[in-house]
Structure 1
Protein backbone atom coordinates (compact mmCIF):
# COMPACT_ATOMS: atom_id res chain seq x y z
CA UNK A 1 0.00 0.00 0.00
CA UNK A 2 1.36 3.40 -0.89
CA UNK A 3 0.72 6.54 1.11
CA UNK A 4 -1.92 8.93 -0.15
CA UNK A 5 -1.01 12.63 -0.18
CA UNK A 6 -1.33 13.99 3.35
CA UNK A 7 -0.96 10.59 5.00
CA UNK A 8 1.96 10.06 7.29
CA UNK A 9 3.13 6.57 8.07
CA UNK A 10 4.24 5.52 11.53
CA UNK A 11 7.74 6.94 11.61
CA UNK A 12 7.29 10.21 9.67
CA UNK A 13 8.45 13.31 11.51
CA UNK A 14 8.48 17.05 10.83
CA UNK A 15 11.73 18.26 9.34
CA UNK A 16 11.10 21.94 9.96
CA UNK A 17 10.90 21.91 13.76
CA UNK A 18 14.11 22.21 15.76
CA UNK A 19 14.43 20.26 19.00
CA UNK A 20 12.65 22.17 21.75
CA UNK A 21 13.86 22.59 25.32
CA UNK A 22 12.24 20.16 27.79
CA UNK A 23 11.06 17.91 24.96
CA UNK A 24 12.61 14.59 23.98
CA UNK A 25 14.09 14.82 20.45
CA UNK A 26 15.82 11.42 20.88
CA UNK A 27 12.75 9.53 22.09
CA UNK A 28 10.35 9.24 24.99
CA UNK A 29 11.83 8.37 28.38
CA UNK A 30 10.91 4.99 29.90
CA UNK A 31 8.94 6.87 32.58
CA UNK A 32 6.40 7.86 29.90
CA UNK A 33 5.32 4.21 29.53
CA UNK A 34 3.25 4.27 32.72
CA UNK A 35 0.74 6.92 31.64
CA UNK A 36 1.72 7.44 27.97
CA UNK A 37 2.25 11.14 28.72
CA UNK A 38 5.35 12.91 27.33
CA UNK A 39 5.77 15.34 30.28
CA UNK A 40 6.83 18.21 28.03
CA UNK A 41 7.39 20.93 30.60
CA UNK A 42 3.86 20.91 32.03
CA UNK A 43 2.03 20.93 28.68
CA UNK A 44 -1.34 19.18 28.73
CA UNK A 45 -2.66 16.67 26.19
CA UNK A 46 -5.11 17.98 23.62
CA UNK A 47 -8.79 17.60 24.57
CA UNK A 48 -9.92 17.47 20.93
CA UNK A 49 -10.15 14.18 19.00
CA UNK A 50 -6.76 13.11 17.67
CA UNK A 51 -6.12 13.70 13.95
CA UNK A 52 -4.23 10.36 13.91
CA UNK A 53 -5.47 6.84 13.35
CA UNK A 54 -3.68 3.58 14.13
CA UNK A 55 -4.22 1.13 11.28
CA UNK A 56 -3.65 -2.58 11.79
CA UNK A 57 -3.23 -5.25 9.14
CA UNK A 58 -5.34 -7.88 10.93
CA UNK A 59 -8.26 -7.94 13.34
CA UNK A 60 -7.17 -11.28 14.71
CA UNK A 61 -3.73 -12.29 15.91
CA UNK A 62 -1.74 -15.49 16.08
CA UNK A 63 1.64 -15.95 17.70
CA UNK A 64 3.32 -16.85 14.41
CA UNK A 65 1.86 -14.02 12.30
CA UNK A 66 3.25 -10.46 12.53
CA UNK A 67 0.84 -7.54 12.47
CA UNK A 68 1.66 -4.37 10.52
CA UNK A 69 0.91 -1.23 12.54
CA UNK A 70 0.72 2.15 10.77
CA UNK A 71 -0.14 5.60 12.09
CA UNK A 72 -1.75 7.96 9.61
CA UNK A 73 -2.41 11.67 10.03
CA UNK A 74 -0.60 15.02 9.85
CA UNK A 75 3.18 15.29 10.25
CA UNK A 76 4.43 14.78 13.79
CA UNK A 77 7.67 15.01 15.77
CA UNK A 78 7.20 12.50 18.58
CA UNK A 79 5.77 9.04 19.09
CA UNK A 80 5.23 6.42 21.78
CA UNK A 81 3.55 3.17 20.67
CA UNK A 82 2.84 -0.02 22.59
CA UNK A 83 0.59 -3.07 22.51
CA UNK A 84 -1.42 -4.14 25.53
CA UNK A 85 -4.09 -6.64 26.42
CA UNK A 86 -7.65 -5.55 27.00
CA UNK A 87 -7.37 -6.40 30.69
CA UNK A 88 -3.91 -4.99 31.63
CA UNK A 89 -1.94 -1.88 30.73
CA UNK A 90 1.46 -3.62 30.64
CA UNK A 91 3.29 -3.40 27.33
CA UNK A 92 3.41 -6.82 25.70
CA UNK A 93 4.62 -8.63 22.63
CA UNK A 94 7.75 -8.48 20.56
CA UNK A 95 8.34 -5.60 18.18
CA UNK A 96 10.36 -6.49 15.13
CA UNK A 97 13.21 -4.05 14.32
CA UNK A 98 11.69 -0.59 13.97
CA UNK A 99 12.14 1.54 10.85
CA UNK A 100 14.73 4.31 10.55
CA UNK A 101 14.42 7.17 13.03
CA UNK A 102 12.57 5.06 15.61
CA UNK A 103 13.84 2.81 18.37
CA UNK A 104 12.77 0.38 21.09
CA UNK A 105 11.73 1.72 24.49
CA UNK A 106 11.97 -0.36 27.67
CA UNK A 107 8.39 -0.66 29.01
CA UNK A 108 6.82 -2.94 31.63
CA UNK A 109 10.06 -4.85 32.15
CA UNK A 110 10.28 -5.58 28.42
CA UNK A 111 13.38 -4.18 26.69
CA UNK A 112 11.41 -4.05 23.42
CA UNK A 113 8.06 -3.20 25.01
CA UNK A 114 7.36 -0.06 22.99
CA UNK A 115 8.51 2.01 20.03
CA UNK A 116 9.47 5.70 20.18
CA UNK A 117 11.08 8.26 17.87
CA UNK A 118 14.90 8.32 17.92
CA UNK A 119 15.28 11.78 16.37
CA UNK A 120 13.20 14.29 14.43
CA UNK A 121 14.56 13.40 10.99
CA UNK A 122 11.86 12.62 8.44
CA UNK A 123 11.15 9.09 7.25
CA UNK A 124 8.26 6.84 6.36
CA UNK A 125 7.62 3.33 7.51
CA UNK A 126 5.52 1.00 9.56
CA UNK A 127 6.15 -1.30 12.48
CA UNK A 128 5.75 -5.07 12.61
CA UNK A 129 4.49 -6.48 15.89
CA UNK A 130 4.84 -10.18 16.78
CA UNK A 131 2.25 -11.31 19.37
CA UNK A 132 3.64 -13.36 22.23
CA UNK A 133 2.48 -16.72 23.56
CA UNK A 134 1.17 -15.22 26.79
CA UNK A 135 -0.95 -12.57 25.07
CA UNK A 136 -4.53 -12.41 26.28
CA UNK A 137 -7.67 -13.13 24.34
CA UNK A 138 -7.63 -9.60 22.91
CA UNK A 139 -5.15 -6.78 22.46
CA UNK A 140 -4.94 -3.27 21.06
CA UNK A 141 -2.28 -0.73 20.21
CA UNK A 142 -2.01 2.61 22.01
CA UNK A 143 -0.04 5.64 20.88
CA UNK A 144 0.87 9.10 22.04
CA UNK A 145 1.63 11.39 19.12
CA UNK A 146 3.17 14.87 19.40
CA UNK A 147 2.85 17.34 16.53
CA UNK A 148 5.17 19.60 18.51
CA UNK A 149 6.25 20.10 22.12
CA UNK A 150 2.95 21.48 23.44
CA UNK A 151 0.54 19.87 20.96
CA UNK A 152 0.09 16.14 21.57
CA UNK A 153 -2.59 13.48 21.94
CA UNK A 154 -2.36 10.70 24.53
CA UNK A 155 -3.70 7.12 24.38
CA UNK A 156 -4.84 7.01 20.78
CA UNK A 157 -6.27 3.50 20.51
CA UNK A 158 -6.46 1.05 17.61
CA UNK A 159 -9.34 -1.28 17.05
CA UNK A 160 -9.15 -4.39 19.22
CA UNK A 161 -7.66 -7.60 17.88
CA UNK A 162 -8.88 -10.99 19.07
CA UNK A 163 -6.85 -14.16 19.32
CA UNK A 164 -7.26 -16.34 16.22
CA UNK A 165 -7.50 -20.09 16.07
CA UNK A 166 -4.26 -21.98 16.56
CA UNK A 167 -2.96 -23.53 13.38
Structure 2
Protein backbone atom coordinates (compact mmCIF):
# COMPACT_ATOMS: atom_id res chain seq x y z
CA UNK A 1 0.00 0.00 0.00
CA UNK A 2 2.85 2.33 -0.81
CA UNK A 3 2.36 5.02 -3.42
CA UNK A 4 4.75 5.00 -6.35
CA UNK A 5 6.00 8.49 -5.50
CA UNK A 6 9.66 8.47 -6.48
CA UNK A 7 12.05 9.89 -3.88
CA UNK A 8 9.52 9.99 -1.04
CA UNK A 9 8.98 8.09 2.19
CA UNK A 10 5.88 7.75 4.41
CA UNK A 11 5.58 10.06 7.39
CA UNK A 12 6.73 8.57 10.68
CA UNK A 13 4.58 10.81 12.88
CA UNK A 14 1.11 9.63 13.93
CA UNK A 15 -1.37 10.07 11.10
CA UNK A 16 -3.68 13.08 11.43
CA UNK A 17 -6.49 10.87 10.11
CA UNK A 18 -9.00 8.53 11.71
CA UNK A 19 -11.93 6.51 10.45
CA UNK A 20 -15.59 7.11 11.06
CA UNK A 21 -17.39 3.79 10.47
CA UNK A 22 -21.20 3.65 10.31
CA UNK A 23 -21.69 0.45 12.35
CA UNK A 24 -19.80 -1.59 14.96
CA UNK A 25 -20.72 -4.87 13.22
CA UNK A 26 -21.45 -6.16 9.75
CA UNK A 27 -23.96 -8.61 8.26
CA UNK A 28 -24.57 -10.24 4.90
CA UNK A 29 -25.35 -7.70 2.20
CA UNK A 30 -25.45 -4.75 4.61
CA UNK A 31 -23.25 -1.81 3.62
CA UNK A 32 -20.80 -0.15 5.96
CA UNK A 33 -20.10 3.53 5.29
CA UNK A 34 -16.52 4.63 5.91
CA UNK A 35 -15.21 8.18 6.16
CA UNK A 36 -11.65 9.36 6.69
CA UNK A 37 -11.70 12.24 9.16
CA UNK A 38 -9.04 14.87 9.60
CA UNK A 39 -7.68 17.48 7.24
CA UNK A 40 -8.34 17.39 3.51
CA UNK A 41 -6.34 14.88 1.50
CA UNK A 42 -5.49 14.38 -2.17
CA UNK A 43 -4.70 10.68 -2.39
CA UNK A 44 -6.04 7.51 -0.82
CA UNK A 45 -5.81 3.75 -1.05
CA UNK A 46 -8.47 2.06 1.09
CA UNK A 47 -9.13 -1.63 1.80
CA UNK A 48 -10.94 -3.84 4.31
CA UNK A 49 -8.81 -6.58 5.86
CA UNK A 50 -8.68 -9.15 8.61
CA UNK A 51 -5.79 -10.21 10.82
CA UNK A 52 -5.51 -13.65 9.23
CA UNK A 53 -4.59 -12.48 5.72
CA UNK A 54 -3.17 -9.45 3.89
CA UNK A 55 -5.79 -9.86 1.14
CA UNK A 56 -8.48 -7.21 0.73
CA UNK A 57 -11.94 -8.41 1.80
CA UNK A 58 -15.42 -7.69 0.56
CA UNK A 59 -16.12 -5.15 -2.12
CA UNK A 60 -16.67 -1.44 -2.52
CA UNK A 61 -19.74 0.11 -4.07
CA UNK A 62 -19.56 2.83 -6.72
CA UNK A 63 -16.86 5.12 -5.37
CA UNK A 64 -17.44 8.81 -4.64
CA UNK A 65 -16.29 11.64 -6.92
CA UNK A 66 -12.55 11.92 -7.47
CA UNK A 67 -12.01 8.24 -6.57
CA UNK A 68 -12.16 4.92 -8.41
CA UNK A 69 -12.25 1.21 -7.73
CA UNK A 70 -8.95 -0.63 -7.78
CA UNK A 71 -8.32 -4.30 -8.50
CA UNK A 72 -6.30 -5.98 -5.75
CA UNK A 73 -5.85 -9.72 -5.34
CA UNK A 74 -7.58 -10.36 -8.68
CA UNK A 75 -10.87 -8.69 -7.75
CA UNK A 76 -11.88 -5.48 -9.59
CA UNK A 77 -13.69 -3.83 -6.66
CA UNK A 78 -11.57 -4.83 -3.66
CA UNK A 79 -10.07 -1.39 -2.99
CA UNK A 80 -10.71 2.30 -3.56
CA UNK A 81 -8.11 4.83 -4.68
CA UNK A 82 -8.03 8.41 -5.91
CA UNK A 83 -8.68 9.16 -9.58
CA UNK A 84 -7.10 12.63 -9.39
CA UNK A 85 -5.46 14.93 -6.85
CA UNK A 86 -8.57 17.02 -6.18
CA UNK A 87 -9.15 17.52 -2.47
CA UNK A 88 -11.17 14.90 -0.61
CA UNK A 89 -12.72 15.78 2.74
CA UNK A 90 -14.17 14.09 5.79
CA UNK A 91 -17.50 14.31 3.94
CA UNK A 92 -16.25 11.82 1.32
CA UNK A 93 -18.18 8.59 1.92
CA UNK A 94 -16.89 5.16 0.88
CA UNK A 95 -19.35 2.25 0.96
CA UNK A 96 -18.09 -1.26 1.67
CA UNK A 97 -19.94 -4.59 1.57
CA UNK A 98 -18.73 -7.71 3.41
CA UNK A 99 -17.86 -10.86 1.50
CA UNK A 100 -20.83 -13.01 0.48
CA UNK A 101 -19.20 -16.11 1.96
CA UNK A 102 -16.47 -17.05 4.41
CA UNK A 103 -16.68 -13.84 6.45
CA UNK A 104 -14.05 -13.40 9.13
CA UNK A 105 -15.05 -12.63 12.71
CA UNK A 106 -13.66 -9.10 12.45
CA UNK A 107 -12.49 -6.70 9.80
CA UNK A 108 -10.74 -3.37 9.96
CA UNK A 109 -10.21 -0.70 7.36
CA UNK A 110 -6.68 0.27 6.41
CA UNK A 111 -5.55 3.16 4.24
CA UNK A 112 -2.67 5.10 2.85
CA UNK A 113 -3.66 8.77 2.95
CA UNK A 114 -1.72 11.47 1.07
CA UNK A 115 -1.98 15.16 1.84
CA UNK A 116 0.33 15.83 -1.09
CA UNK A 117 2.75 14.00 -3.36
CA UNK A 118 5.45 13.76 -0.71
CA UNK A 119 3.43 13.91 2.53
CA UNK A 120 1.53 10.69 3.20
CA UNK A 121 0.84 8.16 5.92
CA UNK A 122 0.58 4.41 5.48
CA UNK A 123 -1.13 1.76 7.58
CA UNK A 124 -3.81 4.08 8.94
CA UNK A 125 -6.26 1.66 10.62
CA UNK A 126 -9.81 1.80 11.89
CA UNK A 127 -11.11 0.10 15.00
CA UNK A 128 -12.30 -3.42 14.35
CA UNK A 129 -15.78 -4.07 13.01
CA UNK A 130 -17.25 -7.33 14.30
CA UNK A 131 -19.26 -9.80 12.26
CA UNK A 132 -22.84 -9.69 13.52
CA UNK A 133 -23.70 -12.85 15.44
CA UNK A 134 -26.64 -13.47 13.08
CA UNK A 135 -24.54 -13.16 9.91
CA UNK A 136 -24.12 -16.39 7.97
CA UNK A 137 -21.89 -15.22 5.10
CA UNK A 138 -22.59 -18.38 3.16
CA UNK A 139 -22.28 -20.64 6.19
CA UNK A 140 -23.84 -21.06 9.60
CA UNK A 141 -24.19 -18.34 12.21
CA UNK A 142 -21.42 -18.19 14.78
CA UNK A 143 -23.65 -17.02 17.65
CA UNK A 144 -22.96 -20.23 19.60
CA UNK A 145 -19.18 -19.70 19.57
CA UNK A 146 -19.16 -17.48 22.67
CA UNK A 147 -15.87 -18.76 24.13
CA UNK A 148 -14.01 -18.14 20.87
CA UNK A 149 -15.39 -14.62 20.66
CA UNK A 150 -14.38 -13.81 24.24
CA UNK A 151 -10.83 -15.07 23.71
CA UNK A 152 -10.54 -13.28 20.36
CA UNK A 153 -11.88 -10.06 21.91
CA UNK A 154 -9.33 -10.25 24.70
CA UNK A 155 -6.52 -10.79 22.19
CA UNK A 156 -7.65 -7.79 20.11
CA UNK A 157 -7.81 -5.66 23.25
CA UNK A 158 -4.27 -6.64 24.21
CA UNK A 159 -3.08 -5.73 20.70
CA UNK A 160 -4.77 -2.32 20.93
CA UNK A 161 -7.63 -3.04 18.51
CA UNK A 162 -10.63 -2.26 20.68
Q: Which bracket does the TM-score occupy, shorter chain normalised?
A: 0.7 to 0.9
Does the alignment pair 1:93 with 2:58?
yes
Does the alignment pair 1:129 with 2:96?
yes
Bigger Rg, which one: 2
Does the alignment pair 1:44 with 2:9?
yes
Distance 1:121 1:39 in 2: 18
1:162 deviates by: 1.2
With a CA cutoff of 8 Å and minimum separation of 6, indicate the structure with the bigger relative contact order.
Answer: 1
Distance 1:139 1:86 in 2: 8
Could you list the runs of 5+ residues in structure 1 that have no partner in the other structure? 1-35
Of Structure 1 and Structure 2, which has the larger fraction of its residues in helix?
2
SS in structure 2 at match of 1:43: coil
Distance change (3 Å), C-alpha of 1:114 and 1:37: same
Q: Residues 43-62 of structure 1: matches in 2 within 5 Å? A: 43-62=8-27
Normalising to structure 1: TM-score of the pair?
A: 0.75
1:158 match: 126
Does the alignment pair 1:104 with 2:69?
yes
Q: Deviations over 1:130-166 (max 9, x none)?
A: 1012221111000000111111000100001111122
Does the alignment pair 1:76 with 2:44?
no
Normalising to structure 2: TM-score of the pair?
A: 0.77
SS in structure 2 at match of 1:148: coil
2:81 match: 116
Aligned residues: 132
CA RMSD of aligned residues (A): 1.3
Q: Deviations over 1:74-120 (max 9, x none)?
A: 11111000001121110110111111111000111111110001112
Could you list the runs of 5+ residues in structure 2 that have no partner in the other structure? 136-162
Distance 2:51 2:23 in 1: 16
Distance 1:92 1:44 in 2: 27
